[in-house]
Structure 1
Amino acid sequence: MIAPSDPQEASALEAQSTIAEEFAYFGDWTERYQYLIDLGRKLPALPDALKTDAYKVHGCQSQVWLVPGGTAQRLDFSAISDSSIVSGLIALVLRVYSGRSAEEILATEPDFIESIGLSKHLSPTRSNGLAAMLATIKQHARGMLDTQAPDATNGGV
């Protein structure tokens, strides 16, 4: 796992709002795609040792590796793709979800996808891959909360 950094925004909701504002600056989708590519280029490299099947996100046409870390109070994710546009999508997803509590992750719907128009401008395979990444992140958050749940067999003690 790469060393976690603090999220740019205080909450996932604020991150989504800021992403929508940033994308509003661009006049057309050529500029927006270029911005996505630029965001993807800024992702920290993922060591080859972490590019394994254990961290591979299935359901993506491109190769995507997503490495979770942390606790239920703060989950951090590192991720990368072999596709520049998908790496940009990863940068957006990490901005919204990485460094957040499992509860905040599970409570946050990815509204930024619709608000910036991604849902209309991604190919079906990229949309499926994005959905797979989001499902994987939520699955890790759910797993963290499940491991924290009190054991009902001994009265929750």
Structure 2
Amino acid sequence: MTDDPNLPPALAEIVEDFHAVGDRERLELLLDFSRELPELPEKYGGNYAESMEQVVECQSPLFLAIEHNDDGTVELIFAAPAEAPTTRGFASILQQGLSGLSGEEILAVPDDLHQRLGLAKSITPLRLRGMAAMLRRIKRNIQQQLTPVQ
């Protein structure tokens, strides 16, 4: 699963890390990612539910913001409760693997990313669908932002 040409380098490395360990260790790796999810920028503060978009398909409360940098790259900002480590882990994977890419590069990420991590034996299908929903929401928002208003 190394050097997957369909994935940006950071995501390919994350997928490779998941495939380098056994099923039980994959859960630990997902928990490690959950602890790495960055704190919310101060501008989102305590009212992030009002200033960010909720990804309602997730079992746990998850909020998303997409920021565009002057150089054309995208930054993903997530808010998820500490008591939702699976959701936080998925959000962290997407944040680490997609932030800094252009909108076009993110749109090219395969929709089956959640399957490529090899977590199907360890995580319920409902949770995996939550990660797929996060990626779909990110792509939909970027597509809307890239499409000129007519």
Q: Same fold (TM over 0.5)?
A: yes
Superposed displacement of residue 12, structure 1: 4.9
In terms of fraction of residues, the more helix-rich structure is 1
Give 5+ residue unaligned stretches, structure 2: 1-5
Overall identity of the aligned pairs, in %: 30
Aligned residue for 2:25?
31
Superposed displacement of residue 15, structure 1: 1.8
1:4-46 CA-partner distances (Å, limit 9, x unpaired): xxxxxxx95212221122123322x222111111111121222
Q: Is the 8 A contact 1:77 1:98 kept in 2?
A: yes
Give the Cα separation in 2 of the matches to 1:16 and 1:111. 12
Residues 44 and 105 (structure 1), Cα distance of their counterparts in 2 relative to 1, 3 Å cut: same
Q: Does 1:90 align with 2:88?
A: no
Secondary structure class of the residue paired with 2:30: helix
Which structure is larger by alpha-carbon Rg, 1 or 2? 1
1:88-132 CA-partner distances (Å, limit 9, x unpaired): 111111222222111111111145433331244321321221122
Aligned residue for 2:49?
51
Give 5+ residue unaligned stretches, structure 1: 1-10, 152-157
Aligned residue for 1:144?
145
Give the Cα separation in 2 of the matches to 1:43 and 1:13. 19
TM-score calculated relative to the size of structure 1: 0.75
Q: How many residues align?
A: 138
Q: Is the 8 A contact 2:8 2:109 kept in 1?
A: yes
Alignment of 1:1-157 (within 5 A): 12-27=7-22, 29-46=23-40, 47-52=45-50, 54-70=52-68, 73-82=72-81, 83-147=84-148
Deviates more, 1:126-135 or 1:114-123: 114-123
Q: Is the 8 A contact 2:113 2:132 kept in 1?
A: no
TM-score calculated relative to the size of structure 2: 0.78
